[in-house]
A and B are shown apart, each in its own frame.
Chain A
Amino acid sequence: MLHFERWKIILVALVCFAGFAYSAPNFFPKDSLTDMPAGLPDKQVNLGLDLRGGSYLLLEVDIDAVMKDRLQSLVGDIRKALRDESIRYTGLGVKGDVATVRVTDPAQLDKAMQQIRDLSTLVGGGGFSATPTRDIEVTNQGNLISVKVTEAARLARQRSAMQQSIEIVRRRIDALGTTEPVIQQQGADRILVQVPGLKDPENLKNLLGQTAKLTFRLVNNSASAQQAMQAGSVPAGSEILYMQDNDKQPVLVERQVMVGGDHLTDAQPGFDSRTGEPVVNFRFDSTGARLFGDVTKNNVNRPFAIVLDGKVISAPVIREPITGGQGQISGSFTVAEANNLAILLRAGALPAPLQILEERTVGPGLGADSIAAGEIASLIGFAAVIIFMAMTYGFFGVLANVALIINVALIMGVLSLLQATLTLPGIAGIVLTIGMAVDANVLIYERIREELKAGKSVIASLEAGYSRALSTILDANITTLIAAIVLFQLGSGPVRGFAVTLAIGVVTSVFTAFTVNRLFVATWYQRRRPKTLNL
């Protein structure tokens, strides 16, 4: 146990040296690390949101809304298909998760079924089956036809909605210009967003809370909105929407969309050249420009509505055909609102609304206080343990303390190297590790004391102390490691940070307390060859 091969000594020394080297960057200001020569460690520990301040959001994509949209557009397709073939029908609509329609003439049933079946497309097999399947399933009960979206199609749509949502969330957050946001999928329908160091977390939620579905539609001129509401009958193909800045003022808007927001190629905040009020300038792609040009040409002097998420932003009158593919949205915005709208329009619409399930925002003040408190607590805990060990075991206690210092360096080094996240409970994990790390040395030293008392020679006692304590040390530490791994599986954010430091600490403390400390003792013994031990 006390004999070390030369290569082993070199290896242990290298590991310790690497620990110090990789933990070193944490003691320098971050700015000074950018011009470190290549190859030298320059990574600092990644601080968690609870230490650096920032927002943690758990979002849920409303997949049900996506499926409802899908059914609605399916109904539209069925209507068109049946009309094109002059098939008469009644009761076309959505019931639960199926679209239903009743064919009036039984003789036309087969033809209708065929028409609807022709609407289906193939989707790649989701999950384990690789064979493509139809996206809809058409069945009938007498004259009543039911159309159901297949499970494979549902999964495919869910996957694409998730990908699209993540992409759009990323674009919106990137527009805020924050550094190192984390955006990742969690489970089937959730998105985890972590944005460090945010000055205005409210604005982040504003940006993520909107679907940002923009449409340009004509205003129905045949009746005023008030008349339609009083009469209680809204003309077919139109709907009542309200102004964004005044939810009492209704506008009668055609359902037919002239141009959708998906045809925008750019949107920038700006100011109106005449009134000087904040506006958003936008540009259509070529298709959008052509569509917009055609509609405006045919509807000069009619008002049209710019609709965002079911609210009318503004309803200007078309003075002349707009063919250049450019335009301006004004809607008594503040500068910040215009800025946000431009971001939303550039990033595109979400396929479904996002619901915030969980939000944790820590201000920079609390984060800085937590770091300071954590530092003080670690230093005091560290000092207390070191003094206690030196008092109890004298010279051997000092050797254990050196191993303990190396241990802390290794923990910091591993955290920096892995770029694991250090949280406030993570700091607690380090402090706890400092307290528990000496356990292995205590086990060994107590064992050596016992062997000495039993009358063994110094060298025999040392040998026995290290070898007998090993299996106990391993058993005892594996139990803590098991607890840390379970905790890692359970936790997210701060708690997971605790599990990480605890697990790293268990591994490094066994190494330093058993191997590094043993190397010290062995070297000391070979130099001195003492006849007695003061332990």
Chain B
Amino acid sequence: MRHLKLIPSDTKIPFIKFRHVAVGISVLLIIASAALTMMRGLNFGIDFEGGILLEVATDGPADIGGLRTKLGSLGLGEVQIQEFGEANDVLIRVQTPDEGGDAASQAVIDKIKGALGEGVDYRRVEVVGPQVSGELIQSGVTAVILAIILMLIYIWFRFEWQFSLGSVLALVHDVALTIGVFSFLQLDFSLQTIAAILTIIGYSMNDTVVVYDRIRENLRKYKRMDLGELVDLSINETLSRTVMTSGTTLLALFALYIFGGEVLRDFTFAMIFGILVGTYSSIFIASPLLLYIGVKRDWSGTGDAKVQQAKG
């Protein structure tokens, strides 16, 4: 029986040849992401900005324009109304009042409920006060930085500092581009997005580690091979696996994106994007970076005895 083969077994793609182009493009994209995020900003959800969010299901298809005039006349400040998945499902978002604490927020919700009248189903009500949203931003940023630092340390232990630096630069690349695309598409940036970014960090690292592992193995095997050639060989040897794993993961995520419901859509989108970028960065960023940074060529030292043993 013939099996499906996405990648032929003996690829000799000269990845390293493209390294200046790839790194150049990536640097440009990172700059673009940063600029976009600064100028256009992120569409922060209520997790990070505070506010009141209601998901409302109306009887028939929702009349968004009618809702807008109805709720706009309540004097609640800016009212955002958008369709959410189904035609009769609507998201309403308003700011929490500056003063009056939770009682004032409750009054806003009561006003909205009064204006919408009977016959609507309140599928979800969320209120995040300014105090909590501030804390959530802080802990979200801390978590991403902490995760990257922990990866740096782990790879340093298992490999060498050059690998550690290379992989972390690739991580920063992945995170920057993901934030950039959220700014570009103005997707809802929430706690879920932070969760997605952390998952991307884990996945991208996973991918990078597999290639690095092979590079290390080949460094031992081919003591005299040119480093660029060796990196190319390693990437090609693991290419089939890289594509397979990204493939199965993307299959699962696409199922989630299409069938998993509206609540998870942006979350899943972030992960799909992150896995594409993460796979690209392990091949085109993390590995070529080793050429710029340089690696230790002599791997026969005692420092690596443990790994050797584990493999024997």
**Which A residues contact B (CB, under 8 angstroms)?**
50, 58, 60, 201, 205, 209, 355-363, 365-366, 369-370, 373-374, 376-378, 380-382, 384-385, 388-389, 391-394, 424-425, 427-428, 431-432, 434-436, 438-439, 442-443, 446, 449-450, 453, 467-468, 470-472, 475-484, 486-487, 489-491, 494-495, 498-499, 502, 534-535
Smallest beta-carbon distance A352→chain B, Å = 14
Among B57, B128, B202, B248, the residue within 8 A (CB) of A483 is: B202
Sample of 6 further A-B pairs with CB below 8 A, known A373-B260, A480-B202, A491-B191: A377-B259, A432-B252, A439-B241, A446-B238, A476-B207, A535-B3
Smallest beta-carbon distance A428→chain B, Å = 6
Interface residue ranges of B186-224 to A (CB < 8 Å): 191-192, 194-195, 198-199, 201-203, 205-207, 209-210, 213-214
B4 contacts chain A at the CB level, 8 A cutoff: yes
B146 contacts chain A at the CB level, 8 A cutoff: yes
Kindly list chain A residues whose C-beta atoms are within 8 Å of the C-beta of B151. Answer: 479, 482
Given contacts A370-B263, A432-B199, contact A357 B132 (CB under 8 A): yes
Smallest beta-carbon distance A70→chain B, Å = 22
B250 contacts chain A at the CB level, 8 A cutoff: yes
- What 10 pairs across the A-B complex have the smallest Cβ distances? A483-B202, A435-B252, A373-B261, A381-B255, A435-B249, A381-B252, A480-B202, A356-B102, A479-B205, A366-B123
Among B57, B154, B247, B258, residue most surrounded by chain A Cβ atoms (within 10 Å): B247
Given contacts A450-B237, A471-B311, A490-B194, contact A356 B3 (CB under 8 A): no
Kindly list chain B residues whose C-beta atoms are within 8 Å of the C-beta of A376. Answer: 259-260
Smallest beta-carbon distance B258→chain A, Å = 8
Q: Are A356 and B127 in contact (CB under 8 A)?
A: yes
B147 contacts chain A at the CB level, 8 A cutoff: yes
Q: Please give me the residue from chain B that is nearest to A473 by CB atom.
A: B210
Among A60, A201, A484, A535, the residue within 8 A (CB) of B202 is: A484
Q: Are A489 and B125 in contact (CB under 8 A)?
A: no
Chosen A-B contacts, 10 in total, with CB atoms closer than 8 Å, are A205-B106, A363-B121, A363-B123, A366-B124, A370-B261, A425-B267, A435-B251, A442-B245, A483-B201, A487-B198
**Which B residues contact A (CB, under 8 angstroms)?**
1, 3-6, 9, 55, 57, 101-103, 105-106, 121-129, 131-132, 139-140, 142-143, 146-147, 150-151, 154, 158, 191-192, 194-195, 198-199, 201-203, 205-207, 209-210, 213-214, 237-238, 240-241, 244-245, 247-256, 258-261, 263-264, 267-268, 271, 307, 310-311
Q: What is the CA–CA distance of A91 and B74 in the complex, to the nearest angstrom? A: 48
Smallest beta-carbon distance A118→chain B, Å = 40
Kindly list chain A residues whose C-beta atoms are within 8 Å of the C-beta of B125. Answer: 201, 359-361
Smallest beta-carbon distance A192→chain B, Å = 12
Q: Are B307 and A471 in contact (CB under 8 A)?
A: yes
Q: Please give me the residue from chain A that is nearest to B200 by CB atom.
A: A483
Among A385, A435, A446, A479, the residue within 8 A (CB) of B209 is: A479
Q: Are A389 and B248 in contact (CB under 8 A)?
A: yes
Q: What is the CA–CA distance of A454 and B311 in the complex, to the nearest angstrom? A: 18
